[in-house]
Chains A and B, each alone.
Chain A
Amino acid sequence: MRSEYLTYTQARPAGRKSGLHVGCGAMEGAMRSDDKVCTETGIESSSRGPGCSLRHFACEQNLLSRPDGSAAFLQGDTSVLAGVYGPAEVKVSKEIFNKATLEVILRPKIGLPGVAEKSRERLIRNTCQAVVLGALHPRTSITVVLQVVSDAGSLLACCLNAACMALVDAGVPMRALFCGVTCALDSDGTLVLDPTAKQEKEARAVLTFALDSVDRKLLMSTTKGLYSDAELQQCLAAAQTASQHVFRFYRESLQRRYSKS
């Protein structure tokens, strides 16, 4: 499978780098209600209405040579690099007779991985397990390695998006795509999507969801802080609307990559 991609990219005109991404910044700018780039401060950028104000994001695929698939996903200043190895050989102790064994390794930017990373690895792994068609590759292992390059808020969502793009790049069969969206609720109940690190710190609650591309069902959720049931439903609805932008970005990104022009 991999060789197919290589020959294809060599056929492209010399001006373009092979396997390059789509930096969809311009399109995202049009979708936002205000065009200000300085979302890091978060205070003076005017009304970020719910449902349409995600930060500028970009994705680059096939940038690493060793893994079978790789992707770098950037959301504002948060950036995560993902590599996928698989389907590959699996240790006998870990093999499952009828499915592929999925493993996720998350490395923080500084320091050694700790208990919090283990918890996030489990969340990402279970999300991937729900969409990857492991039954097509029994007794193999699919390993997703995520490296945090920079953290400026919404880290888990960025990790999920990078993992999804890397799995697509590796050609792992999946029944749906998934995306991560983060919502922050501040003390007076205003919803902010894709919060920056400062907004997350000042928020009363931060909710991260992973949504399915087929029917926007909730695949994974993890939350921090106190909130009410009604606020949860509101955040979920806003996340579902925002996920449409992300899925459209995935589609355009892949279309550009494989278009013959």
Chain B
Amino acid sequence: MAAGFKTVEPLEYYRRFLKENCRPDGRELGEFRTTTVNIGSISTADGSALVKLGNTTVICGVKAEFAVPPTDAPDKGYVVPNVDLPPLCSSRFRSGPPGEEAQVASQFIADVIENSQIIQKEDLCISSGKLAWVLYCDLICLDYDGNILDACTFALLAALKNVQLPEVRINEETALAEVNLKKKSYLNIRTHPVATSFAVFDDTLLIVDPTGEEEHLATGTLTVVMDEEGRLSCLHKPGGSGLTGAKLQDCMSRAVTRHKEVKKLMDEVIKSMTPK
């Protein structure tokens, strides 16, 4: 009977749970779904990570290639993110050119990389004006169950931490690059931005880490990207119901605790990988 009610009146069904301060999957309003991360699983990529946030699964692969630095910034490399939402992950996406959701997510990830300065682009330069690294970060969603932005940000961060770039030397006589695949070094990751997403219900209630259904029923969403020093690199609120300054404060404090959780998880995983 509950299933019937849920089909006919999904919003009322949700409200019944929210009144008791919990959600249909048993979580509290401020609780995240189980987060698992698997780093370095793709051997053909220079860095990779798979993140699961409940059912939402995102895999990030980073490939490094050579490129000529931009003329207006000859000592900088490039980081090019791309988020792909294939028809595999959800029935709402069709095959073909990237839809709006994918484009917005790609732009969001590009903004996070730019604003939070995860990598200093100068570190990617090999020879000023001649050669630089370009990191193509491809994020593919394998299962879409809400909160794609958090999963993508985490996957990107974990994959970048896993990237190992070989040493490159420019031979003065031939002016060609000599790549030494035996000597690899990790990237210098300066900050660790972590995204926390909220959904606004009925203009007043804020819930953390919305699932696909919750996102559909919500009247607004909010994503906060914070680094370890409590600095915000992105406050993404694309329309939806209005929020007061006090509610924003609550979101910030939740984002701070989430950052600690994610950082701890990632450090544990990386530590367990190092004996290799």
Do A and B come together as binding partners?
yes
A residues within 8 Å of B by Cβ?
115-116, 118-119, 121-130, 207, 210, 212, 215, 217-229, 232-233, 236-237
Given the known A-B contacts A227-B232, A228-B232, A236-B248, are A115 and B106 also in contact in the complex, defined by CB atoms under 8 Å?
A: yes
- Nearest first, the 4 A-B pairs at minimum CB distance are A126-B239, A217-B242, A119-B107, A127-B239
A115-B103, A115-B107, A233-B248 given as contacts; is B230 within 8 A of A219 (CB)? no
Closest Cβ–Cβ distance, residue B112 to chain A (whole Å): 11
Interface centre among A116, A119, A129, A228 (most CB of B within 10 A): A119
- Give the residues in chain A near B108, CB-CB below 8 Å: 119
Judge whether B231 is part of the interface by a CB distance below 8 angstroms.
yes
CB distance from A148 to the nearest CB of B (A): 17
Sample of 10 A–B contacts (CB below 8 Å): A122-B100, A122-B238, A124-B239, A129-B239, A219-B240, A225-B115, A227-B232, A228-B230, A228-B231, A229-B252
Residues of B within 8 A of A129 (CB): 239-240
Q: Which residues of chain A have C-beta atoms less than 8 A from B114's C-beta?
A: 224
A118-B233 contact given A125-B239, A237-B245, CB 8 Å threshold: no
How many angstroms between the C-alpha atoms of A119 and B242 in the bound complex?
20
CB of B162 within 8 A of chain A? Answer: no
Contact A219 B232 (CB under 8 A): no
A126 touches B103 (CB 8 A): no
- Which residues in B have their C-beta under 8 angstroms from that of A127? 238-239
A219 touches B239 (CB 8 A): yes
Distance to closest chain B CB from A260 (angstroms): 35
Q: Is the CB of B244 within 8 A of A232?
A: no
Q: Is B242 touching A215 in the complex (CB atoms < 8 A)?
A: yes
The CA-CA distance from A236 to B232 in the complex, in Å, is: 14
B242 A212 Cβ-Cβ under 8 A: yes
In the complex, the answer to whether B238 meets A226 with C-beta atoms within 8 Å is no
**How far, in angstroms, from A236 to B245 measured CA to CA in the complex?**
8
CA distance A224 to B112 in the complex (A): 9
A236 to B243, CA, bound (A): 11
> Is B236 among interface residues, defined by CB-CB distance under 8 A?
yes
Q: Does B111 contact A (CB under 8 A)?
A: yes
Q: Nearest chain B CB to A232's CB is how many angstroms away?
A: 6
Tell me whether B115 and A130 are in contact (CB under 8 A). no
Hey, which chain B residues are within 8 Å of A218, CB to CB? 237, 242-245, 248
B170 at interface, CB cutoff 8 A: no
Q: Tell whether B86 is near chain A: CB-to-CB under 8 Å.
A: no
Determine the interface band of chain B, counting residues with CB < 8 A from chain A.
20 to 34
Contact A116 B235 (CB under 8 A): no
Q: Are B240 and A229 within 8 A (Cβ)?
A: no
Residues of chain B within 8 A of A224, CB atoms compared: 111, 114-115
A220, chain B: closest CB distance, angstroms: 5
User: With an 8 A cutoff between CB atoms, is B89 at the interface?
Assistant: no
Contact with A along B154-187 (1 / 0, CB 8 A): 0000000000000000000000000000000000
B104 at the interface (CB under 8 A from A): yes
Judge whether B196 is part of the interface by a CB distance below 8 angstroms: no
Residues of A within 8 A of B252 (CB): 229, 232
The reply to whether B237 and A220 contact each other, CB–CB distance below 8 Å, is yes
In the complex, the answer to whether B106 meets A222 with C-beta atoms within 8 Å is: no
Known: A118-B100, A227-B231. 13 other contacts (CB 8 A): A115-B107, A116-B107, A126-B220, A130-B219, A218-B242, A219-B239, A223-B236, A226-B116, A226-B232, A226-B233, A229-B232, A233-B249, A236-B245
**CB of B205 to closest CB in A, whole Å:** 15
- Docked Cα-Cα span, A225 to B116, in Å, equals 7
* Segment 168-218 of B: residues with Cβ below 8 Å from A: none
Q: How far is the CB of A47 from chain B (nearest CB, A)?
A: 25
Contact check, B231 vs A222: say whether CB atoms are below 8 A apart. Answer: no
Which residues of B have CB within 8 Å of A225?
115, 233
Q: Assess whether B21 is interfacial by the CB under 8 Å rule.
A: no
Residue of A with least CB distance to B255? A229
Which residues of chain B have C-beta atoms less than 8 A from A228's C-beta?
230-232
A125 CA / B240 CA spacing, docked (Å): 10
In the complex, whether B234 has a CB less than 8 A from a CB of chain A is yes
List chain B residues, Cβ under 8 A from A122: 100, 104, 238
Closest chain-A Cβ to B97's Cβ sits at a distance in Å of: 11
Residues B104 and A221 in contact, CB atoms below 8 Å apart: no
Residues of the A chain whose Cβ atoms lie less than 8 Å from the Cβ of B227: 226
B241 within 8 A of A: yes
Query: How far is the CB of B270 from the nearest CB of chain A, in Å?
Result: 24
Residues of chain B within 8 A (CB-CB) of A123 are 238-239
